[in-house]
Structure 1
Amino acid sequence: MEQKKRGITVGAIILALIVISVVIFALITTPKVITMPDLRGMTQTQAESILDNKKLEKGKVTEKYSNLYNYGQIVSTNPKQGSNVRQKTSVGLVISKGPDKKPFGDYRGQNYDDVKERLENQGVHVYKKLKYTDDVAKDSITSQSLKPSAAVVMSQTTVTFTVSKGPIHFRLKMFSGMNKSQIESYAKQQNIDVVFQYEASDKFKSGEVVRQGPAPNAIVERGSQVIVVLAK
């Protein structure tokens, strides 16, 4: 009887030792829970080195456009940074392809101020130069320094638009009844060169317009010369 009890005791001890060994083995071999490191902004090589040090596995690598991270930098991970993960967990990496490029677009014929506001809201640096044209309405864009199909990162782009100052040709105003100062102001506005000449007149008071050439309502070109004869 005692021998039987002794056998049961030994068996129980052996069983307990086995259970303890299994528990210890499980504790030793079970991957530890760690905090997922922040790999954003690192290169893939740097990220893989960190994963190896943390005993994490590199998972699927994908790419996406990013305006925040340069080409080749880590944009995000799965699991995300700061989360609790077990060692040997597979970590997916998303790598930046750089900023997303798109066709610049064709803005010819559109109002300059409207286009400028829209593009500056996207980070584009916008400049203009003025040109008279008969084909495009005043303040509208006649040409652009970038091709419409040019692939650009809008926030890194500079463009110069040529903007219409109005038609090259226009109908000349009648100067009769205007004084010299008024005529000069008109000439500046219309970009014409006025040459004043003077002659004695019994019909007109001093400073009044005697005649002009070209005649009133004639079609003239910006930059052309107009003769105005004033009474002495």
Structure 2
Amino acid sequence: MAKAPDFPSRLLRGYSTFREQRLPQESSRYKVLAETGQRPRTMIVGCSDSRAAPETIFDAAPGELFVVRNVAALVPPFTPDGEHHGTSAAIEFGVLSLKVRDLVVMGHGRCGGITGYLAARDAPPDLKGHTDFVGKWISLLKPAEALICEDPAETADRQRAMEFASIRQTIANLRTFPWIRSLEEIGELELHGAWFDISTAELYLLDKETGRFTVPEEIEV
């Protein structure tokens, strides 16, 4: 194989390992996916953080998950204003074209987007600073503050409390999309919340009845 000039060597080494170790096990699956297209059952809205890759956490095979990642795993409310909406476009494609049945919003611990929001919120006006895009994006978190549960296990850690609340808010924003709301009402789409603890690798799930996040006692396989 000819050397790719100026391409990160770490990626080339990873690709070589993929070719030697994983591809022989997955080659037939790739061929089927190329011929028939993707048909994932699950879509995940996750954070861009390099420590929280859904495909790794859920040990997913090629074609199994349709993933959109952005800063803090956010989804803006339904706003068909003719502007550029990358996250909303991905959700529209996953739900209406791929017809996923499960849509998971997955946050994680030590999220830089949440940290940045809390820092900017608490900073004096003359120290808030300026960004071209990030500040506007994470302002989507403001309504989530009203969704922090009055539970000592949650409010004792304001970072985690905000990370949990952000997932609740993002699910609420997803329900402003009329076709998501209608599909959920007829049972053809289900919304889920999850939070991954980077330090312990524990997965917390949102209980739809209580609105609390808990680690499941048993994991069915």
The TM-score normalised by the length of structure 1 is 0.21
| Structure with greater helix share of residues | 2
Higher relative contact order (CA 8 A, sep 6+): 2
| Structure with greater strand share of residues | 1
